[in-house]
Amino acid sequence: MAQDYTELPLSHDPTTSVLFDTASGLVAGATDAGLTIATAESLTAGQLAATIADIPGASAVLRGGLVVYATDLKRTLAGVPEDVLSEFGPVSPETAAALARGASDRCGADIGIGLTGVAGPDSQDGVAPGTVFLGLSRGMSVTVHKLEINGDRARIRAAATLAGLDLARSAL
């Protein structure tokens, strides 16, 4: 028997409207500027690309997104060099930069956003929960920002998604 999904109650988390509003501004700005966006996401597991895709008109700017939760996929799908992963680890500024570059290169986008971090509850490779690195690639430039986010997994992932949206808007 098929489930009628139209009748299921959906959560109305207040952060959802903030994410939607920020993503709407990003899509409008990127559309006006004629720029495209791609993501390579680890801790957010595609949440950033999905949030952008929720906006009407997103198909004009969102080229695609890579979900690279596993370390080996950071290398094979997003093109993070093996020496970066072995020397600095999967959660590092260097990896975030390589993810951003990989997103834009692999998806053919003007702007690439790379997200890596630890959502918790445990540390990963000595990196504390709430540590997030966001990479931004535009043209020949790549920048990285570090965030320290308090909260549970859902809050850390939502805040990282919001920061990714804000970072992409700043590149327009």
Name the phi and psi angles at 127, rounded to 5.
Answer: -100, 130
Does the pLDDT at position 6 exceed 80?
no
CB 47, CB 161: distance < 8 Å: yes
Across 79-99, average pLDDT: 98
pLDDT of residue 12: 45
Cβ distance 20 to 54 under 8 Å?
A: yes
pTM for the model: 0.92
pLDDT band at 2 (very low <50, low <70, confident <90, very high): low
CA distance 59 to 50: 12
- Over the stretch 39-49, which tens digit does the pLDDT of each residue have? 999 999 999 99
In the block, residue with structure tokens 């690639």: 137
Give, in order, the Cα–Cα distances in Å from 169 to each of 11, 43, 119: 27, 20, 24
Query: Mean per-residue pLDDT for 72-90?
Result: 98
